[in-house]
């Protein structure tokens, strides 16, 4: 089974990324991920991942927190609703 099998295999990059972040549980500051970790999970080039993260931040589907100079990203309540709207 692919990561986004069948139903939503042709999603735009940032929405695909949002799905992956949601499904792996990056939905709270405690479980936020760095850009490098997100790039690995989504199998995206870090530059492409960063562009997608910026789009998601602009739409407030993800949020960022910074500790010791490291940025970590997690899905917001609006982002969770965006993902789940596809399945209910």
Partner 1 sequence: MWICCNITGHLLVIFMNICMLSWEYPPRIVGGISRHCQGLARALAKMGHTVYLITLDFPGAPYYEEDEGVRVYRTAIELGHPNFIVWVLLFNHFMEKKVAMLSKQEKFEVIHAHDWLVAPASISSKHYLGAPLISTIHSTEVGRSRGLHNPDSYLIDGLEWWLTYESKRIIVISNSMRQEVREHFRLPDEKIDVIPNAIDSSKYEIRVDRDDVKRRFGIDSSERIVLFIGRLVPQKGVEYLIMATPKIIEKHPEARVVIVGNGWSKDYLLNLASSIGCQHKVLFLGFLSDQDLIELTLSSDVLVIPSIYEPFGIVALEGMAAGVPIVASNTGGLAEIIEHDKTGFLAYKENPDSIAYGVNKILSDPGYASWLVQNAKRKIREVYSWDAVARKTVETYEKALRE
Interface with partner 1 by CB under 8 A: which residues? 1-8, 11-12, 15, 19-20, 22-28, 41, 76-78, 80-82, 84-88
Closest distance of CB 16 from partner 1, Å: 10
Closest distance of CB 47 from partner 1, Å: 21
- Of the pair 2, 67, the CB lying nearest partner 1 is at 2
Separation of CA 10 from chain center: 16
- Report the 10 Å Cβ neighbour count for 17: 26
- Of the pair 3, 70, the CB lying nearest partner 1 is at 3
Place of tokens 């479980």: 31
With residue 17 as reference, give the H or E element that holds it: helix 13-23
Backbone phi and psi for residue 27, each to the nearest 5 degrees, phi listed first: -120, 15
Q: Which two tokens stand for residue 46?
A: 């870090």
Closest distance of CB 56 from partner 1, Å: 12
């Amino acid at each position: 089974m692919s990561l986004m099998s069948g139903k939503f295999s042709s999603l735009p990059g940032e929405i695909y990324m949002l799905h992956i972040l949601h499904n792996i549980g990056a939905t709270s500051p405690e479980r936020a991920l760095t850009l490098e970790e997100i790039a690995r999970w989504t199998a995206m080039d870090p530059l492409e991942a960063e562009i997608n993260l910026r789009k998601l931040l602009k739409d407030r589907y993800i949020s960022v927190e910074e500790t010791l100079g490291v940025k970590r990203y997690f899905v917001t309540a609006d982002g969770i609703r965006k993902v789940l709207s596809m399945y209910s």
